[in-house]
Chains A and B, each alone.
Chain A
Amino acid sequence: MKVLQVQYEIRLTFDAPVTDHYFQFRCLPTEDDAQTVETLKITVEPACAVHERIDGFGNRMFYGEIPEPHDSLCVRMDARVRVERELISCSFGKRRMRSVRIETSSTGIAGNPETEPEPVCSVTAEIAQYSLLNSPAGEVPGIVYAYPSELTRPDQVMREWLDAVRGGYDSECGFPEYLMHRLYQRLSYVQGQTHVGTTAAEAFALLGGVCQDYAHIFTALCRMAGFPARYAAGMAVGEGATHAWAEVWQDGVWVAYDPTHDCMADDRYIKLSHGRDFIDCSVDRGCFRGAGGQQQTVYVKVAETSTLPDMP
């Protein structure tokens, strides 16, 4: 468990005043089993009325409009968030912690935080277990995330690579984790060769990209392997910008993987939104009337305020 102090600021500046500006932001920490928002403050400049709602994916967002001429828009979010995220070990062969909130599992073992879990079944069984075509799929909350989306549609090259990885899978760790390690060996972190609209298949062909591309590729591969997976957008301790990772539906819980760093996304990660891919999670979406250019600056800071567990 960690308590994180989070700041997010986005400033849009326009070369010439703009009007009829409609904006919509997904930059509030999600509230779920992993994250509890203790304090939250939002400021919007110029001041205007904002409304909040939950979008179709379960993300909090707020929106409003500024009809009058203005030459900048600044949104700032300050929050204190308690994070307690489910983890699975992140090294080959060793399994330290496993998801504990298993209500029903097809292997019949209920999870227990105190004991080491039984070794999981063989890989083919595990993959079959998640194969949606063979299971009462409506029971899977992640069903929306079981299918390819615009930016995560795999191609033949990815299919073949996945088959090869499956063939070589002899590890004790779960398949998504193994897949992440293999992917990390294959890809390199390269800035500038991809952009926000790059698809998983394109980035895979380029053998790398930035966190968004890693998350897209990993998400696409997990879905192909039969695991519902979703794109997660947020921030992390030590990252000076927004970050992206992925969550995989395993044993009745969403498990967070950070394929860019080849590790589990733990309590140092703050999630702002999730969706099928980047498009569903874009922090800001808006449109306005006006000529001239615009600049965008984003300031992100995440700091630990406490690492002590709650006292009873």
Chain B
Amino acid sequence: MLLDLVDHKESINRLLARYGVKFGIYKNNVFHEQLFPFDPIPRVITRKEFDYLNRGLSQRVRALNCFLADVYSERKIVKDGVIPADFIYSSKGYLPQCEGITPPKKIYSHISGIDLVQGRDGDWYILEDNLRIPSGASYPMIARDLTRQAAPEAFTRRHVLDNRNYASMLRQTMDYVNTGGINVVLTPGRYNAAFFEHSYLAERSGAVLCMPQDLAVEDNKLYYRSYEGRKMQVGAVYRRISDEYLDPLCFLPESLIGVPGLMNVYASGNVAVINAPGNGVADDKGIYYFVPHMIRYYLGEEAILKNAPTYLAFYEKDRSFILEHLNRLVVKDVSEAGGYGVVFGSNLSAGELQKLADAIRTEPRRFIAQEVIDFVDLMIVDGNEQVPRKADLRAFVLAGEETQVWPSGLTRFSRNPDSFVVNSSQGGGFKDTWVLSH
């Protein structure tokens, strides 16, 4: 099965290179652009399984949106003792500047990238939530397109849901919160890690791709000025600039890639910012532990999808468990992202274990520990053979009038046979994700 695609590995990768499907990494302050290696064998998800994932993931994102609205207004979940204040107010992602701001339609996380893996037992486990500016949707979109070009016959015999509808889902999401005016995708520019994605999503969704200098605030509204000097009001900004650089009047004053005054316009309800600033408080690795509690608290439902078994060093009982079983757990530093700050106890020497234990004792709030999930391998093409590699799935959940999951997703795999870390910044590759129509 799917063998017909194997032979197209080289040709599709060549096409991807020609279309500029790259991502950038900064190493020692030098910008390197790399191709994102594509593997032609897709991950295949049945319709039944997808329906289950759709229910679980949209439930999760609905609860996370409730949580964000609560954190920046009434703080009921803290008052009711469900989540300790420490995990919210000492989080780097919590931005007091956003207190009291109600985003259009009360949606905070419009585009969520939820990472999950399938265990050997067949169950899916959530690894982390990405509610700030999750990237990656463009890769399976364009890979599907190019695969269809290279191997059209592969799709005539199989009933695969078209994933190129991401563009229209994105457009509907922007239109739903748009306060009047055009939609724009705001990119920091050519040297951003995900510039390909910014330009591709803008082009496909019919939004205007713009750089910070193309936008300006005037009389408490946001305007786009085109190359020819035409001025148009902006109703929704899908910004791919992180919170701290978004507006030098509100966050880092030294930011040169922000739009001065944007936060004032947003706070006045005159533009939608996608995703809302301040979302980092909800995708913190420490908060992850509490998401099933949130689902119960806000929705009165039990979580459909499981978290990986997680221990919080903050709680004394969990801490002693972690210290006792350090050599078999994976420890994550809550303040890091992108696969950094993740340590597998089994890879550490006795001295390193001791050092880690000391760090956990000194700053318990900084660490979570998880059981290593033995997740399923997917086959990848390696030269003339196929070999199994660890892979996860980043599912994209879009919250507009409804909250729904895109019937595809970014499947990332580790190219290293001994590694569980699949992040592209750590050298991983990607696959398309097929959802069957039956």
Contact = CB atoms under 8 A, between A and B. Distances in A.
Interface of A: 20, 22, 24, 49, 51, 53-57, 63, 65, 67, 132-133, 136-140, 143-144, 146-147, 275-276, 280, 285-287
10 contacts: A24-B249, A24-B264, A53-B267, A56-B101, A57-B97, A144-B89, A275-B96, A285-B248, A287-B248, A287-B260
A97 B435 CA distance: 71
Nearest to A56: B99
A285 B85 contact: no
Contacts of A51: 219-220, 264, 268
Interface in B215-254: 216-220, 248-249, 253
B81 interface: yes
Interface string B14-45: 00000000000000000000000000000000
A120 B219 CA distance: 53
Contact of A138 (B85, B97, B260, B264): B85
Contact of B249 (A57, A280, A287): A287
Main secondary structure of the interface of B (DSSP, over half): loop
A285 B249 contact: yes
A275 to B, nearest CB: 8
Contact of A137 (B84, B96, B216): B84
B100 A54 contact: yes
A171 to B, nearest CB: 30
Contact of A24 (B85, B95, B261): B261
A127 to B, nearest CB: 17
Interface stretch (B72-80, B120-128, B161-169, B300-308): B72-80
Given A24-B264, A56-B99, A136 B81 contact: yes
A22 B85 contact: no
Contact of A143 (B78, B249, B253, B260): B78
B249 A55 contact: no
B86 A20 contact: no
B146 interface: no
Contacts of A139: 79
A280 B251 CA distance: 9
Contacts of A146: 85, 89
A158 B57 CA distance: 46
A284 to B, nearest CB: 10
A56 B97 contact: yes
B98 interface: yes
Contact of A57 (B81, B96, B260): B96
A132 B100 contact: no
A22 B217 contact: yes
A57 B99 contact: yes
Counting from the closest, the 5 A-B pairs by CB-CB distance are A138-B78, A138-B79, A137-B85, A56-B99, A22-B260
A62 B95 CA distance: 20
A139 B75 CA distance: 9
Contacts of B261: 22, 24, 63, 65
Nearest to B94: A144
B426 interface: no
Contacts of A287: 248-249, 253, 260
B85 A132 contact: yes
B249 A138 contact: no
Of B77, B98, B100, B268, which is in contact with the most chain A CB atoms at under 10 Å from its CB? B100
Interface of B: 75-81, 84-86, 89-90, 95-101, 216-220, 248-249, 253, 260-261, 264, 267-268
Nearest to A51: B220
Given A22-B217, A285-B253, 14 more contacts: A51-B220, A53-B268, A54-B100, A57-B97, A133-B84, A136-B81, A137-B86, A138-B77, A138-B80, A143-B89, A144-B99, A147-B89, A285-B249, A286-B249
Contacts of B219: 49, 51
A147 B99 contact: no
A63 B96 CA distance: 19
Nearest to B248: A287
Contacts of A56: 95-101
A70 B347 CA distance: 63
Nearest to A149: B96
A54 B248 CA distance: 18
A143 B85 contact: yes
A49 B268 CA distance: 15
Nearest to A287: B260
A139 B249 CA distance: 31
Contacts of A65: 217-218, 261
B52 to A, nearest CB: 35
Contacts of B101: 56
B297 to A, nearest CB: 13
A22 B96 contact: no
Contacts of A63: 249, 261, 264
Nearest to A53: B267
Given A57-B96, A132-B86, A143-B78, A67 B218 contact: yes
Nearest to B77: A138
A22 B249 contact: yes
Contacts of A286: 249, 260
B256 to A, nearest CB: 9
The CB with the most chain A CB atoms within 10 A, among B77, B80, B98, B249, is that of B249
B433 to A, nearest CB: 39
B218 A147 contact: no
Contacts of B76: 138
Nearest to B253: A285
Nearest to A63: B264
Nearest to A276: B96
A276 B267 CA distance: 20
Given A24-B261, A147-B89, A136 B79 contact: yes
A54 B267 CA distance: 9
A147 B365 CA distance: 13
Nearest to B90: A147
B75 A138 contact: yes
A280 B100 CA distance: 16
A65 B99 CA distance: 24
Contacts of A24: 249, 261, 264
Contacts of B260: 22, 286-287
A286 B248 CA distance: 8
A285 B253 CA distance: 8
